[in-house]
Amino acid sequence: MPNSKPYIPQTKSNTKTDRKVGQAKTCHGRNSFLTEPVSLVLSFICGTKSSEKIKMKFNELKLKPELLTALQKLKLEIPTEVQEKSIPILLEGKDLAVRSKTGSGKTFAFLLPILQNLSPERKLQAVILAPTRELAQQTDKEARKLAPTVKTVLLYGGVSINPQIDELDRGAQIAVATPGRILDHIARRTIDLSNVRFVVLDEADRMLDMGFIDDVEKILRGTPKNRQTMLFSATMPEQIVRILDRYMRKPETLMLQQDEICVKKIRQRVYGVDRKQKLDLLEKILHNKEVTKVMIFCNTKDWAEKLGRILWKKRFKTTSIHSGLSQNKRNRVIQDFNSGKYEILVATDVAARGLHIEGVTHVINYDIPRNPKDYIHRIGRTGRAGKEGDAITLVTQIDENLLRAVEAEIKMFLEVQYITQEGKIMTPKRDRSHLETPVHEPHPGEEIRVHAHVPAQSEATGDDWGLD
């Protein structure tokens, strides 16, 4: 089991800490969170919403009547920022590269222009590349919502290739695929890319992280050069920029909000604990009535499975998801969690992005992620599409460098409240001489409190809005 020492902060940083502090304010909920002897303040960091409002409506974007009808059925009237800015460019047939934060609505941003310009011919006209089968499944589901009569095919590994070949032979118009499986079809000559007019690279940065970029380039080289190429990415690293230069024709670029902006809209809290205290603190958090639908992240699949069993034995409605499960089992877990059969999902980073997960009120990092970018994607599972959300991270002394890496990634200082083995609460000083904005420190004796989530009037979730 990871993390063996209590959290004792460093007073001086050994690394460069030239970063800005996000503007934040503190707020308190209404209900006591933890009981004696542990008495803390959970002064969540609240992001400030932009005063700018998007006034354009979907019916102003010159979409087909059948697409507008589908959007009305989904109770969608006003596009998100990425949709409003991307769709007109794509409807003109231009290549487009978009940097946009997780949960921004990018799925509909590329699906609507493709469906608008798709011909009725039963031949493959669009290829949408996704890093994971789960994201591919979700994108396919959203396409079917918008255009039930359009023939789509899912191409991913881990299942028999023969049914996919049959669907391609029957005239699929859109293929939603993972890079490895589409290369399998290319090698078998079971897919014809000669009529492809649209190619989408969805979550391009994640495909880079997973080592798929070479595969993506092979696929791009196998499609017509006069295709329209669309690239969507939460970040825009140098290798992604090179793809723009090599494979896109004078692309328009939209550099919208990155994931770090989304992070600042989520109330975050960090607790320093001894490894042996982690489970007790987790139980206290989960017993609070405001914590209604939770994702708990661990760094290993073995511990995710074990922690799920421990919580189940303690009578929490818990299930687990990780890479060790079969695809069918993973699908069942997500379905059961979304339906409310389970209230707690213990997960590895396989669930941080690309899964259709609804209504998460709290994310708990039982283990702080080794890759700081994963922190963004983990806590992005709550507070989606402008909704409120809370994130809690448990750290031990050996996690100090990982915590600093997270702070550098999100450009925000995270105050740590240290819980001693005797149950006393301390807010020890951590070096922040480089910070430009003072951070709230709780008064001694204040109680830890949790924010109360108020359900939105609409039942549509961020994922239902064509989000990640």
Q: What is the CATH number of the domain that holds 334?
A: 3.40.50.300
Give 408's DSSP letter.
H
Q: How many residues does the chain have?
A: 468
* CA-based nearest residue to 126, from 176, 185, 196: 196
**Structure tokens of 103?**
């949960």
User: 182 and 64, same structural domain?
Assistant: yes
Beta strand segments in 264-399, E: 267-272, 294-297, 318-321, 344-347, 362-365, 390-395
435-446 pLDDT tens trace: 454 444 444 443
At 466 the pLDDT is: 31
At 16 the pLDDT is: 39
Specify the pairing of strand 425-426 against strand 416-419. Answer: antiparallel
Position 10 pLDDT exceeds 60: no
Distance of CA 468 to the CA centre of its chain: 6
Which residue in the block uniquely carries the two structure tokens 């493709």? 114
Domain contains 438: yes
User: 117 and 255, same structural domain?
Assistant: yes
Domain end call among 221, 244, 259: 259
Domain contains 3: no
Give 277's DSSP letter.
G
In sequence order, what are the beta bridge partners of 46? 25
Please say whether the beta carbons of 267 and 290 come within 8 A. no
Range ranked top by mean pLDDT from 44-53, 382-391, 459-468: 382-391
| 75 half-sphere exposure, CB direction, 13 A CA radius | 7
Distance CA 208, CA 468 (A): 18
203: left (phi over 0), alpha (psi -120 to 50) or beta: left
Domain end call among 226, 259, 292: 259
User: 346 and 251, same structural domain?
Assistant: no
User: 379 and 271, same structural domain?
Assistant: yes
Number of structural domains in the chain: 2
Instruction: Tell me the residue range of the domain where 290 lies.
Output: 25-48+264-465
User: 285 and 240, same structural domain?
Assistant: no
- Please give the average per-residue pLDDT across 151-158, as a whole number: 94
Domain contains 18: no
Position 20 pLDDT exceeds 60: no
At 353 the pLDDT is: 67
At 132 the pLDDT is: 87
Structural Rg of the chain based on CA atoms: 23
User: 253 and 353, same structural domain?
Assistant: no
43-87 pLDDT tens trace: 332 333 444 454 689 999 999 999 999 999 999 999 999 999 999
Domain end call among 224, 244, 259: 259
User: 238 and 97, same structural domain?
Assistant: yes
Please say whether the beta carbons of 361 and 291 come within 8 A. yes
168: left (phi over 0), alpha (psi -120 to 50) or beta: alpha
